Chain A
């Protein structure tokens, strides 16, 4: 059974800092890994998706990496802004089509 862990559960940084969020998974037989953002009381917004054959994806200030062999993914946020404050979730999809989510990391960027 796939298990997904996100550490830390919460992170607070001053504006302008670069930061890394971590996601680890127990079964490396994955189809893809997707990073989402969730604002309080809202749905999930897709940020980046990495296919199992890829090593990283970039979108603006965001960069996601994937290391299947070690069961890890990171989401790098450059030059953080208060508007980046949200909960960030990673979801791992297996070849059977089911996604398993981590509990998320709640990020607070202080002005």
Chain B
């Protein structure tokens, strides 16, 4: 089945130790998104890729970076995680330009910062 896959599902890191979260998709969608969701809060968009074009949200901290080496993969790098970065990180995809334009989400990666 076509889907959005996130690895790992659970990630524990130490304060200040860089961490990379991975997202892959078999849907061949041209848009990929990264959201941060803290407990009982709405998902907050960090950035998205429209094909290879990177679009950063104005309030996304510089500590967060992203890479998209090809259509299928997208990575979220947190350069120096702080305690406040502990959250669920959600990857999503969509086909921009389609009438339907539905977002499809992966299962998320739960990040714990010790």
User: Which B residues have a C-beta under 8 Å from some C-beta of A?
Assistant: 6, 31, 33, 40-45, 48, 50, 88, 90, 92, 96, 99-108, 110
Contact = CB atoms under 8 A, between A and B. Distances in A.
Interface string A75-111: 0000000000000010101000111111110000000
Interface of A: 4, 31-32, 34, 36, 41-46, 49, 51, 89, 91, 93, 97-104
B105 A97 contact: no
B45 A98 contact: yes
B45 A89 contact: no
A99 B45 contact: yes
Contact of A103 (B40, B90, B107, B108): B40
Contacts of A44: 43, 90, 92, 105
Contacts of B102: 34, 46, 49
A51 B6 CA distance: 28
A91 B43 CA distance: 9
Given A98-B45, A103-B42, A41 B110 contact: yes
Contacts of A99: 33, 45, 103
A58 B55 CA distance: 33
24 contacts: A4-B42, A31-B101, A34-B102, A41-B88, A41-B108, A41-B110, A42-B108, A43-B6, A43-B107, A43-B108, A44-B43, A46-B102, A49-B101, A49-B102, A51-B100, A89-B42, A89-B43, A91-B103, A93-B101, A97-B96, A99-B33, A101-B44, A103-B40, A104-B40
Contacts of B43: 44, 89, 91, 101
B30 to A, nearest CB: 12
